[in-house]
Amino acid sequence: MTLLLNISYRAWHVWRRNLDVSRFSWKTTILPPLLEPMLYIVAFGLGVGAYVAQVGYRGRMTDYLTFLAPGMIALGVLSHAIFECMYGSFVRMRYQRTFDAMLCTPLLIEDILAGEILWGATKGLFAGMAVLSVISVWGLAVFPSSLLILPTAVISGLLFAAFGLLFASISPYIENLNLPTFFFINPMFFFSGTFFPIDDLPRWLKALAMLLPLTHTVDLMRAAAYGILEARLWVSVAYLAILTPIVCYAAIFLMKRRLIK
């Protein structure tokens, strides 16, 4: 893990650079995180919810819209963090040559890549906050326990951003990014408890679902939104806390090796 120790405060400048650039496209940066969750909530919550009266979660019954809402927060964090560091970082690396320009400054490679991960996590956190604001207005979250969704969004954003950078580092062409989208992101989208409980899945499929990081993010956020704080949640906390630095290290190591080549 010594690679992570090389990261300095200069990573902040990379984060700030990406923030400054995003201001020129603030409409596409701000509006989608606000509108996308409402689309899902209306389509699935009101559409499917009309046919599903109650959904069970940890021995408690709730209406489908209330069950769905925390999952939409997790999906917002996932999609904005991972795609920013998959496609955004790939474009900055290969087509815009932004990384090459940064390497002509006092920035270390580790600073550049850490700044990329921090920026992806920031976009994920913003998306999560946007969705939380929407569902709070609709009365679908319990406070103050729902505030625990924010630290979950931070660590999950870092994890998913690191996954995105990792996939960018091993993809020779931008078209190859379709592979992690299909084999990693899509399974999490459907089988992490976002749209339906995983408790009734076949045992083998539930075991696989428990290996997906989004499953633990969804579980923590749903528990916080419901105000259900149980000791079992520490398993999910430990899972995310252990996996995040490992994936960050792998992403920085692989991308550094690619840039040096």
Mean pLDDT of the chain: 89
Is 43's pLDDT higher than 90?
A: no
Q: What is the pLDDT of residue 185?
A: 95
Question: Could you read off the pLDDT of 137-178 as tens digits, one per residue?
Answer: 888 888 888 899 999 999 999 999 999 999 999 999 999 999
Beta-ladder partners of 141: none
Give mean pLDDT, residues 60-75. 89
Alpha-carbon span 93 to 108, nearest angstrom? 15
Q: What is the pLDDT of residue 120?
A: 96
Q: What is the pLDDT of residue 192?
A: 94
**pTM of structure:** 0.93
Question: Could you read off the pLDDT of 198-213 as tens digits, one per residue?
Answer: 988 899 999 999 999 9
Please tell me the total count of domains within the chain.
Answer: 1
Q: Which residues span the domain enclosing 74?
A: 2-260
Neighbours of 203 (CB within 10 A): 7
